Amino acid sequence: MFKAIVTAWFPWAGWMFAAWLALGLVVKLAGGRWRWSRLRRMHQCESGSVQTLGFVLTLPAFMLLAMFIVQVSQVMIAITIVHQSAFAAARSASVWIPATTTLPGSNQIRELPNQLDSTDLGQTQFPQWGAFPAQRRSVVPGSKTERIWRAAVLACTPAAPSWRTTVQEPRGSQLSESLFQFYTRLVPRTAGNAAMRGRLQRKLDYAQWNTLVELRGRDANGSTGPTYNPYPGYWSSRRDEQTGQTVPFWVDWNPAELNWEEPVTVSVYHNFALLPGPGRFLSQWLGGSGIPDLVSRHLRDMRQANPGVYQKGLYVVPLKAHATLQIEGLKSVIPHVQSY
């Protein structure tokens, strides 16, 4: 995971290094010098100052570069969070896929052990298998894919904006209330902060609507074995209730059945919200001249793509990460039903 993060950081680190060089050049052209000893004593200085012409001319460029550095640093932090989210979702997949689950509030077994839900299974061709993309609009409540998607959403919540990005205030949910209770236990001094509940609720709501998870893998030993789901199938026997004799029957290969130590790859895609100032500049000014560039074409205007949902000035940059783990659970003869 560390190598993947460094690789994703590389282009943004180049922009960060170029911005620091440009910022130092602006300070040098303005006739200033970096004196860290004076900067440490700046908050104690009570003497007046004179706005020189050099300061007035260089202030816009200085502020622009400073905001750009802050924005790039935020994107690099978000890249780390999205990679951690992919790892958390992969760990959740390795735990939940071998489990036998039930519908919330029901005693009926919804999914057999070591299987994905049939509604979540996508295009499957041996030995490759995959599930439909999981997002808030399409995830099946109570399914294993929903639990894996939720793990990715909770991991991406720290990277989501705390200000209101939608036209209407998001509604509270049981998950947001649990998140608020957990946060106040970690930071007890925020328990009396009335605005903290709304901030966490906005962050969770944004992460839920802007995080997409894909599951895919490979049936590593379906044709060689040992496996309880061989390809293309196997002959078994059962007792005929009418004749009382044992008769053979054919069991087809189940594309939703996942065996022990099979690799599961989880891909997480998250729309990271840019700050209002730098996001507007990067998306409009760099792309407004009609000349193709390498920055603004990767940004998306959320209000234009979703009219009536998001507020004006919300621009995002899509981030993605992948993580692969092995399924460690075995298919038990007498399954232990997991419910919540």
238 near 247, Cβ under 8 Å?
A: yes
Q: State the Cα–Cα distance between residues 69 and 26, nearest whole angstrom.
A: 14
Q: What count of other Cβ atoms lies within 10 Å of the Cβ of residue 270? A: 29
Q: State the Cα–Cα distance between residues 140 and 144, nearest whole angstrom.
A: 9
Give residue limits of the domains in the chain: 2-33+53-160+210-223+260-338
Q: State the Cα–Cα distance between residues 318 and 320, nearest whole angstrom.
A: 7
Give per-residue pLDDT as tens, 247-281. Answer: 888 988 887 777 777 888 999 999 998 887 666 66
Q: Which residues of the chain have pLDDT under 70?
A: 1-3, 9-10, 27, 29-58, 102-113, 117-120, 122-123, 277-298, 331-340
What does the pLDDT read at residue 10? 66
96 near 177, Cβ under 8 Å?
A: no
Q: State the Cα–Cα distance between residues 87 and 2, nearest whole angstrom.
A: 11
Q: State the Cα–Cα distance between residues 14 and 170, nearest whole angstrom.
A: 37
Q: Phi, psi (5° rounding) for residue 278?
A: -60, -35
What does the pLDDT read at residue 47? 54
What does the pLDDT read at residue 292? 46
